[in-house]
Chains A and B, each alone.
Chain A
């Protein structure tokens, strides 16, 4: 074990996107020692890709907005499966968290009065998203990064955590390797915060990068934590679909927020054809009212393009299935049409959506100020994740915390756009604060960790020690295609049963995976390790989806297309049993308080 590096911290944070950085800053401010590990370089996490904005009821653009409206919008968007306490804390604390970013140097777009500007987004009643053009995530991560590096936090870049270490029931550290040289490392920590983001790479069409292999969810599950709501995967309605190499790349909802419309091959605005009952009173009657809404008419309702993401994605799938799709199997998203309405439309689009203009121009030869974009749904986000206490963000394992996409509860069955950046801030901050508090009162670990470390080392080196076997990239591709096909936007029982059979097969193949080369920066090896997590979360998603026999939010069952009352009261909970298999149960939701219920009723 001479090659083993060790570090000791009060709080170890796994992941350096928005949630991890915000947690690190808060824990450090509480006066404890903090280490952060991340799989990529600092500042490259997926937060950087977030475009549209951060949702916070500041009320700068429409003073009728406040936390109660934001709370009700979030619950409605999540089809009331949300943890209501989280939704309340989130709505109340988001404005303060946005203000903090400004204190640390963020440059948000401004209103004419010099306040933070806010824009419209799907499912939000009032213009609520603080933003910087269409690169809000970059501004956020850079602000947190540049503030964080001066707070005495240790950053370990390009380091992958393979296992959590335990002292009896509680978590006491993590084992991992540095990607650069393959050197092993042990982090001893009194509290661990998981902020590793999502699972998008389990699917072939996704907006997520290579990193999003469900590491945090799998680490927590294997350490004894509960995962909930994992059947709720968000397929963002607007991903690029052509050319093939950019398939899945995100097209911000901001395009629709700025007046972009969805049309089919017949030129019809099909979103007007299907407006869900619970949004009927809030949706525009005709295109004219929709346009008035996006241009700031306070008495107009929002256009149906700004309905929630789950609904818009399904409408697109329907258009394509019924033969009204675009040439490459999507529909059209058109922002160029606004030139009928305003002078200098091209300049306006370039100013409001510079990233989108650039992305389509460079990668698809499309000028979005002149032509419509071809788009289709892409795997974007997982609403489910690690079950946490609303206030402290601690999981069901003592000392193990989670924040951001890796944690569950805030978004219920469907997340509203803009609520993830605010989620990162609000619950990253809480996780950091409570992890520091936990660490301060925690006793040092008593258990000798040698056995666990030895087992983790052998596990990590296994792919090198097989004489031959399959290429990990091939197994990964099969997994992604299988999940896309059988556990995607439209699900049914026989397909998901088939998926479980194929997962067993893939697990078997993966047990014989072999990697070439040595331990120095070896992506084949890294992928082989990530695959353990991908396979685990894929099984969790498939089993959770099988269990929920209804359609709600991001989960749509062709064999159970309606909502079911009994299942409106439960979360799907997955645990690892001692024999290694998974248990799936349905357990009652966190109840709403009388006050919360009154707000929901009032805003209906």
Chain B
């Protein structure tokens, strides 16, 4: 069957939807349709993609207004009787067509203090770590850096707090480091101040769009908020630390 796709075309601040009709066959995902259009009707149509299997997080877009990976959105799951709109992520500066400038995310990650392990447990330089101690960390490591969570977070999308907030993706990254059984670093001060964890008011938009089903709010952000509260606001613990120094 034929379906119509309205794809955002343009550069920087200017642009408009352009309509393309293309043939849809069994099993096709939106990325297939967009690549067919690129191959046959618009060779300069800009988009990012790599693995086509939901593993690299390159093809993030807004499909009929919903932030999704194009490669994991089956055409059979959307209403093809109407034109399907495909737009770039709105939170990041637009470059061209479906491509946005996501470099801020890479800069934000550099601001998170790196992993700092305790000395090895064993003479051969290895550590002894139990599976149950890394189950939670492994959940965070499923992240494919598609930045859809950053895209829907209203602290970034509406309030544009790019300077004072690192966004849900980097909260997940921080949570992985903080809950890593070997890590010895403390990141609570930056979380409270420069990384702006207080801005998150746990509306869970990030969790809803995560293609890896990471429980971003419940398992990463809320426990980090608790750590910040424990470390900086619990008077008993502060006193205890003062005297144990």
Interface residues of B in 208-242 (CB under 8 A from A): none
- Given A41-B102, A142-B141, A523:B38 Cβ within 8 A: yes
B126 touches A115 (CB 8 A): yes
Q: How many A-B residue pairs have CB under 8 A?
A: 165
B25 CB, min distance to chain A CBs, angstroms: 6
B214 CB, min distance to chain A CBs, angstroms: 12
Q: How far is the CA of A157 from the CA of B50 in the complex (A)?
A: 14
Is A587 in the interface zone, CB < 8 Å from B?
no
B137 contacts which of A107, A113, A133 (Cβ < 8 Å)?
A: A107
B60 CB, min distance to chain A CBs, angstroms: 11
Is B49 in the interface zone, CB < 8 Å from A?
yes
- Given A43-B145, A473-B39, A113:B128 Cβ within 8 A: yes
Is B142 in the interface zone, CB < 8 Å from A?
yes
A139 touches B141 (CB 8 A): yes
B38 touches A473 (CB 8 A): yes
Enumerate chain B residues within 8 angstroms of A525, measured Cβ to Cβ.
44
Enumerate chain A residues within 8 angstroms of B243, measured Cβ to Cβ.
none
Q: How far is the CA of A522 from the CA of B48 in the complex (A)?
A: 11
A114 CB, min distance to chain B CBs, angstroms: 4
B115 touches A146 (CB 8 A): yes
Binds A, one of B27-35, B153-161, B192-200: B27-35
Mask, B60-95, CB within 8 Å of A = 1, is 000000000000101000000000000000000001
- Given A149-B106, A362-B54, A40:B48 Cβ within 8 A: yes
Enumerate chain A residues within 8 angstroms of B97, measured Cβ to Cβ.
521
Binds B, one of A96-104, A368-376, A377-385: A96-104
Mask, A178-216, CB within 8 Å of B = 1, is 001000000000000000000000000000011100000
A203 CB, min distance to chain B CBs, angstroms: 15
Q: How far is the CA of A138 from the CA of B141 in the complex (A)?
A: 8
B106 contacts which of A42, A249, A473 (Cβ < 8 Å)?
A: A42
Binds B, one of A238-246, A268-276, A408-416: A238-246
A110 touches B131 (CB 8 A): yes
The number of residues on chain B lying at the interface, defined by a beta carbon within 8 Å of a beta carbon of chain A, is 61
A244 contacts which of B27, B40, B43 (Cβ < 8 Å)?
A: B27
B95 touches A180 (CB 8 A): yes
Q: How far is the CA of A147 from the CA of B101 in the complex (A)?
A: 23
Enumerate chain A residues within 8 angstroms of B17, measured Cβ to Cβ.
none
Q: How far is the CA of A210 from the CA of B50 in the complex (A)?
A: 6
- Given A113-B128, A135-B142, A521-B99, A211:B44 Cβ within 8 A: no
A150 contacts which of B28, B110, B127, B177 (Cβ < 8 Å)?
A: B110
- Given A471-B43, A473-B39, A107:B134 Cβ within 8 A: yes
30 of the cross-chain contacts (CB-CB < 8 Å) are A40-B50, A42-B106, A43-B145, A44-B50, A44-B58, A46-B51, A49-B56, A105-B183, A110-B134, A114-B128, A115-B128, A133-B138, A157-B103, A157-B106, A180-B95, A209-B50, A209-B51, A210-B50, A244-B26, A244-B27, A245-B27, A359-B54, A362-B54, A363-B72, A472-B43, A473-B38, A517-B43, A520-B11, A521-B96, A527-B43
- A contacts, CB < 8 Å to B: 40-46, 48-49, 99, 102-105, 107, 109-110, 113-116, 132-133, 135, 138-139, 142, 146-147, 149-150, 155, 157, 180, 209-211, 242-246, 249-250, 355, 358-359, 362-364, 471-474, 477, 515-518, 520-525, 527
The 9 A-B pairs with the shortest beta carbon distances in the complex, nearest first, are A243-B27, A524-B43, A517-B44, A105-B115, A521-B46, A114-B128, A473-B39, A209-B50, A110-B131
Apart from the given pairs A43-B56, A157-B103, A524-B43, 17 other A-B contacts in the complex at a CB distance below 8 Å: A40-B48, A40-B50, A44-B58, A109-B131, A147-B114, A243-B28, A244-B25, A244-B27, A245-B32, A359-B54, A471-B43, A472-B43, A473-B43, A521-B96, A523-B38, A523-B45, A524-B38
